[in-house]
Amino acid sequence: MLSIAWSVTVHAQSKDPIKIGFSMSLTGAVAPNGRQLLTSLEIWRDDVNAAGGLLGRPVELVYYDDQSTPANVPAIYTKLMSVDKVDLLLGPYATNMTAPAMPIIMQANKTTISLLAIGVNRHFNYDRYFSMVPISSEGVAAFSRGFFELAAAQNPKPTTVAMIAADAEFARTAADGAKENAKKLGLKIIYDRSYPPTTTDFAPVVRAVQAANADIVFVAAYPPDTVGIVRSAHEVGLKPKMFGGTMIGLLATPLKVQLGPLTNNLVIMESFVQAPTFNFPGLQEMLAKYRDKAKGQQIDPYGIGFAPFGYAAGQILAKAVTETKGLDHDKIAKYIHANKFQTVAGEISFGKDGEWSEPRTVFTQFQDVQPNDVTQFRDGSKQPILWPEKYKTGTMIYPYSAEKK
């Protein structure tokens, strides 16, 4: 595990800084998303410090690269609290990293706002935990409900489902919710397999799915897996009626560009998109700063899928600290539970379990994606929202095997 901490204060001020600690996946499987979140938190820090800091003190970020490895996380949070003496906590990012951090955070009675982890608190029931994933107390089922409701609305209605998922916390959790939704809608699961996270050759996995000949193929995968699965599906000629799922690699612009037209007609879950219905106060200003910082770096050039949540987590924490006039974790947690927050990711409030009070996941479909063109993903036109109706911006192409432009 890397032993280097990054610690930066933008404006030198006479008072001691308020230290905010977290781990972040800056290398490894989910690093494309982790680097987006870090950049957005740095922008939030700079904005807070430019406005005078928190409680009249500068904000300092103290963070370590967990290398997308869950085993690294407990030691990082132990060090943040016992050695670095951070005042506040955020994160970690992702379900796989958040779950092993929770016992350490709970033992210290600290408050944290996790960055895009799903279903973690159903295991811990910790009242100082909050999640930035917009799935609500509905839980993991909210992560795939739209996918199966879209499927059930098609004519003729598909009847069978094949599911594949990585054998790791996030993917297993997403797959569990998908099974619930499929069964509720009367869809029969005829193939259900997991694969080791170290898998690099997905051709055998996809051939087995093809042999099952299901109407729908639902995938719960990480960024490297997503690339392998989509490429293998193209190579073996997989042609179900509907194909997609919780493929978080496809939330990162570089991977969208890398796969190009191979993504066409895939239907995926997203938590944040570039659309008129998602244009919340302060969002465009934050994204402009993000895009300026992203130039010349090996990170997502647009930051749509993740950056708003990192910045919003900072906004929520800052509001709670300001209104409670201190750094008492109990008071901060109670304030977050009791109030609504206006953020660049929209209005957010939390239920008793620390999840959003109202769900806001959407399902989009890749349509008419062209090769080697990063700019086509800037405005969301290549991924219209199909579900829910409240946010809908386009019409579904069905079946998946329909002619791709």
Dihedral angle computed from the Cα positions of residues 36, 42, 47 and 52, in that order, rounded to the nearest 10 degrees = 160
Please tell me the distance from the alpha carbon of residue 293 to that of residue 43, in angstroms, as a whole number: 9
pLDDT at 402: 83
Q: Evaluate whether the domain defined by 140-270+367-391 bears CATH number 3.40.50.2300.
A: yes
Question: Would you list the DSSP string of 262-292?
Answer: GGTT-EEEES---SGGG--TTHHHHHHHHHH
Label residue 377 exposed, middle or buried (CB < 10 Å: 0-12, 13-18, 19+). Answer: buried
Give the mean pLDDT of 331-337: 98
Q: What are the structural domain ranges in the chain?
A: 6-134+279-348, 140-270+367-391
Confidence of residue 14 (pLDDT cuts 50, 70, 90): low
- What tens digit of pLDDT does each residue of 166-180 get? 998 889 989 999 999
Q: Which of 7-16, 58-67, 184-193, 302-311 shows the lowest per-residue confidence on average (mean pLDDT)?
A: 7-16
Please tell me the distance from the alpha carbon of residue 365 to that of residue 363, in angstroms, as a whole number: 7
Structure tokens at 20: 């905010």
Confidence of residue 137 (pLDDT cuts 50, 70, 90): confident
Confidence of residue 404 (pLDDT cuts 50, 70, 90): low
Q: Domain 6-134+279-348: give its CATH code.
A: 3.40.50.2300
pLDDT at 141: 87
Residue 183 has pLDDT above 70, yes or no: yes
pLDDT at 138: 82
Confidence of residue 26 (pLDDT cuts 50, 70, 90): very high
Is 140-270+367-391 in the same CATH topology as 6-134+279-348?
A: yes
Give the mean pLDDT of 95-104: 95
pLDDT at 61: 98
Which amino acid is residue 189, in one-letter code?
Answer: I
pLDDT at 118: 83
Q: Indicate the pTM of the whole model.
A: 0.89
pLDDT at 1: 45
